[in-house]
Structure 1
């Protein structure tokens, strides 16, 4: 299970021992706020890493249990893969337990473990009653059949069994795919002295690299990921499923709010009208009237809005899915398939939840026609289904597309042919398919990366292809990267030189800051001709930094302006050309050491390395003590 990332949520009623259990599992106290210490309850989300032995990377989020802090609770569970439902043995199922259960199901959380805590406070009979009560409550829900573990967080009883159960359960959890565009809904914003603005959240999808240019939506602010931390450890990147803190450059704390979303592409849109499939809670509530105010929780956002029906004027409890629209007072950032919760603002209560059918809803007429349209949209056209899957998986063959879209072979073939014809779908070699917009996205990212590399290393002929591929390999499949590079080369966007890649418009050059100093070093080398001094003699005392001196030497060699003459010596190309011309003028097609010495008037210290250089350049070829001019070296 190496290189997999999961977030586990602790949910349940206030004071049922979630924070204590989290500490027992991780040895981290998540009640970090002074107010939390004083009041003994969790207000903000607390996170801790769970150490594993099987290579999985697991974060535990301790979400608040108190009713007043339900917003933070929803923000926390929105990004989790597995929930540990905590129920105290001495109290059993309580109101917040019930509400958390409803919310977890609406948010599409499928995997659950029940932890019955505080078992030291009850006898065996009471424990059986509580366990039976929980089983009854979970019967018929998505968590029916969830495993139960009895624990006492203070003494540590049952903790190892709970860990084993968690690891066993995670084997069946599909971990979040790092493919796709980076998206992090922000649930915490703060400042660190000397560092600036920091945001926290669980990455929903994609990968973020240190130094990446990002956008805060819905405001559209451009920021830079200056530093990335996962559980207080600095990392070069973070990926889907990881709980992450990112130090942002270019923005103040006051400009970012919980509910904003950090993204790395323009694949996401801000919207204030969403078409939704709504499922209601399984109990009676006062009817919801047409255009009634509701509070919507999606990702880490909490936004007021009005609910709009197209087939009724008020909504009562029903087990059927309701297709409707929510018009929001503020913009949110959502994608098709995102889960949400709807609550009544007064009196405060959870009404239901569901998923987003269409992030950018329109103005529709009241009536059956709109309901049919929404139903078709919910089911998705074949094109929608294919594009939705390829947006997440990036590169798939026909077999996997059939599995993931449920389209039959004929319908899939028609859809792919249509997409290829209109340019929205591209076929990669060996019958794999991707989206044109994903190709364009990667192409833009590669051009930006190469531009940045050229600015950092202007004297290098380009970036190593292996390094460029590695940069994007955690977010894109390797065959797709190779296809993109080949296509970019064919389109003359980039140029290949051996194993190096560069922008087609780029030429290696001396950095502006040290250009004059470096030109002086090169001029001195050229002046000394074949009798060049050691490289260190030319650069001694120069203010040019050592790394740039090293880059200069490589630049001269790679661009052919100089040759390696001896291990610690370079020789300028013009000196080699002059010496070759002189040697050619005074020798026949074959010559020995004496003829070369007479022609060039060089000591053995310089003569032998020079002749060996000619052999290396294939200008001469050696046979015993004689050398012959090759076709390359003939006059």
Structure 2
């Protein structure tokens, strides 16, 4: 069976060129949901719809607004996509927003696309060659140069099936986003659902999220919990890189969250207000950009104002440039890491300046001049050491072979790096995996937080099942998680009990709120001896909530305080052992049920299951109508 692949594709193009209608033709979903969108026939917010392309491919379509005023939503929509459909209406051709969208797509480093000419039924067939040639001229020099072009009509359905097939073929060759890294989801929508609470929606950039995970909202550093995950309105146990997901969050209200926030699963991500970048500009700026000029940064779904600082010029001329090394000093913190793509726009007069990628998320203050440019060039190229640490932070643990392939360095050079950092204690090699000590420490802290929350929920259990714990932290790799767990157990920070794992200082016990009632149940069973009431009556009289009854029952059995006499009765282990000793002392090697009745004074209701328990304990063995003592009870 083929493994499932996950992708997000986007629509881009000028207003009223039929993106939303095309989305509906492909998916049968109308993405215009706001009243204003219906009244004005334009898209204001991002629209999403599932595109069915077979059992092994899950695809989300992002329908981004085309109007110039809604360009920020457009940037937020395309920032996480794997394939773009550039939409051009047959009756109008390439328009100003088409060109601006093309610039933004190029600057964001998107490489895969198809061109779709909509409203094809409005033009004569002999016009199609002219339209195709015009579009080819406009997209020359972009990643759309040489891209497949499809004529469709969304209302009649012409060309839709062929386009759907072309999308599937194209995506089959697109590398799926890696779900092994640390989870990151830039939030593009926040809303509430009656009876459910706060919900955020976005495209998962990296990693994987599972229902029940503890997450953090950046830049506010607010802890939340993933209570429920949905993909296109269907509940799922998890979401992964490349998927559009909605996550119902516990621990945060709608007013505490906003578009531009980032949901993460690890301390690896941090916030910053000073970012070193490499910048490519659009071909022709309308106005020059002065040193420390005011800019608006679009990064993921965030929009932040700030200033641009140059180190080799005092002004960015209208002719612009490529690979300009500079720095952004932002008014508010953002979440980013090396390699993230961005767009810069001028707030006033409004225009797209350019885009590029982050070379250092936590920039410093540098002097103006050639020396700083050289320093930034070295950062841009990335030393083998930089790349080694970036890889190990992202992948968490790797084999030597995978590390060598991804670094692209000679084995001797890798060995020198590893030896140097092993001696410093920053990098470790254990169980065939190479990892950062800081990642191991982070993993242990996350496991301890997880176990602390588990002990609070289930104070009567010995701990969390080891297999469940390993699965929850599967993104760190089974080998690393097992190693960290075992080392922490050796140090006493964690402890293992059979298949359970617990904090080192944890001991199962009655929760304070219900301790008196639970003690009452335990004492009642003990006091009633061999002729104990039905357990349901004892629990009911104690007034324990239903969810605690089974927890207490299993705790008493696990801690060897009671045994299950039959499906309705619990018997104290003390009474059970005493009955065995008494019966053994007052009978011969062979005894009957009547003999046992005379010694213990019990009715058949209790006597028969008690004798069977003696057999199960290995003390007696049934032989016809009698029993033989096999072992003397202690």
Q: 1:195 to 1:569 in 2, by over 3 A?
A: closer
1:519 is aligned to 519
CA distance in 2, matches of 1:63, 1:297: 15
Equivalent position SS for 1:396: coil
Written as runs of structure 1 = structure 2, the 5 A alignment for 1:260-409 is 260-283=261-284, 285-316=286-317, 317=319, 320-409=322-411
The superposition leaves residues 408-466 of structure 1 with CA deviations (integer Å, 9 ceiling, x where unpaired) of 2111122222333323223231x222233332333222222222222222222222223
Written as runs of structure 1 = structure 2, the 5 A alignment for 1:339-488 is 339-429=341-431, 431-473=432-474, 475-488=475-488
Equivalent position SS for 1:552: helix
Q: 1:32 Cα shift? A: 1.4
CA distance in 2, matches of 1:285, 1:539: 79
CA distance in 2, matches of 1:197, 1:519: 39
2:506 is aligned to 506
The superposition leaves residues 492-551 of structure 1 with CA deviations (integer Å, 9 ceiling, x where unpaired) of 233222222222322222333333333223222222323334433433555323332222
CA distance in 2, matches of 1:190, 1:226: 15
CA distance in 2, matches of 1:193, 1:538: 39
Q: 1:10 Cα shift? A: 0.4
1:529 aligns with 2:529: yes
Q: CA contact under 8 A between 1:117 and 1:153: conserved in structure 2?
A: yes
Q: 1:114 Cα shift? A: 1.2
CA distance in 2, matches of 1:188, 1:535: 51
Q: CA RMSD in A?
A: 2.6
Q: CA contact under 8 A between 1:228 and 1:245: conserved in structure 2?
A: yes
Q: 1:152 Cα shift? A: 0.7
1:137 aligns with 2:138: yes
The superposition leaves residues 84-119 of structure 1 with CA deviations (integer Å, 9 ceiling, x where unpaired) of 111112222222112111111211212111111111
Q: 1:370 Cα shift? A: 1.0
1:11 aligns with 2:12: yes
Q: CA contact under 8 A between 1:114 and 1:149: conserved in structure 2?
A: yes
Q: 1:319 Cα shift? A: 5.4
Q: CA contact under 8 A between 1:189 and 1:253: conserved in structure 2?
A: yes
1:543 is aligned to 543
Equivalent position SS for 1:513: helix
CA distance in 2, matches of 1:524, 1:318: 85
CA distance in 1, matches of 2:208, 2:442: 14
CA distance in 2, matches of 1:379, 1:520: 70
Q: CA contact under 8 A between 2:518 and 2:542: conserved in structure 1?
A: no
2:35 is aligned to 34
CA distance in 2, matches of 1:87, 1:112: 13
CA distance in 2, matches of 1:213, 1:65: 37
TM norm structure 2: 0.92
Q: 1:79 Cα shift? A: 1.2
TM norm structure 1: 0.92
Which moved further from structure 2: 304-313 or 512-521? 512-521
Q: CA contact under 8 A between 2:304 and 2:332: conserved in structure 1?
A: yes
Q: CA contact under 8 A between 2:396 and 2:476: conserved in structure 1?
A: yes
Q: 1:397 to 1:250 in 2, by over 3 A?
A: closer
Q: 1:366 Cα shift? A: 1.5
CA distance in 1, matches of 2:309, 2:537: 80
Q: CA contact under 8 A between 1:22 and 1:62: conserved in structure 2?
A: yes
Equivalent position SS for 2:451: helix
Written as runs of structure 1 = structure 2, the 5 A alignment for 1:65-144 is 65-144=66-145
Q: CA contact under 8 A between 1:597 and 1:607: conserved in structure 2?
A: yes
Q: 1:599 Cα shift? A: 5.0
Q: 1:480 Cα shift? A: 3.0
Equivalent position SS for 2:280: strand
Q: CA contact under 8 A between 1:198 and 1:246: conserved in structure 2?
A: yes
CA distance in 2, matches of 1:250, 1:565: 44
Which moved further from structure 2: 327-336 or 546-555? 546-555
Q: CA contact under 8 A between 2:433 and 2:480: conserved in structure 1?
A: no
1:158 is aligned to 159
Which moved further from structure 2: 78-87 or 234-243? 234-243
1:240 aligns with 2:266: no
Please list every run of 5 or more consecutive structure 2 residues that lacks an aligned counterpart in the other structure: none
Equivalent position SS for 1:488: helix
CA distance in 2, matches of 1:292, 1:318: 14
1:258 is aligned to 259
Q: 1:526 to 1:50 in 2, by over 3 A?
A: same
Which moved further from structure 2: 409-418 or 71-80? 409-418
CA distance in 2, matches of 1:52, 1:446: 38
CA distance in 2, matches of 1:546, 1:296: 54
CA distance in 2, matches of 1:266, 1:507: 29
Q: CA contact under 8 A between 1:461 and 1:559: conserved in structure 2?
A: no
Q: 1:196 Cα shift? A: 4.4
Q: CA contact under 8 A between 2:6 and 2:58: conserved in structure 1?
A: yes
Q: 1:573 Cα shift? A: 0.8
CA distance in 2, matches of 1:300, 1:367: 33
The superposition leaves residues 158-204 of structure 1 with CA deviations (integer Å, 9 ceiling, x where unpaired) of 11111111122222222222233322222223344555443322222
2:610 is aligned to 610
Q: 1:359 Cα shift? A: 0.8
Q: CA contact under 8 A between 1:223 and 1:248: conserved in structure 2?
A: yes
CA distance in 1, matches of 2:193, 2:554: 41
Q: CA contact under 8 A between 2:268 and 2:393: conserved in structure 1?
A: no
CA distance in 2, matches of 1:345, 1:159: 39
Equivalent position SS for 1:294: strand
Equivalent position SS for 1:360: coil
Which moved further from structure 2: 448-457 or 163-172? 448-457
Q: CA contact under 8 A between 1:2 and 1:54: conserved in structure 2?
A: no
Q: 1:607 Cα shift? A: 4.6
Equivalent position SS for 2:487: helix
CA distance in 2, matches of 1:176, 1:5: 8
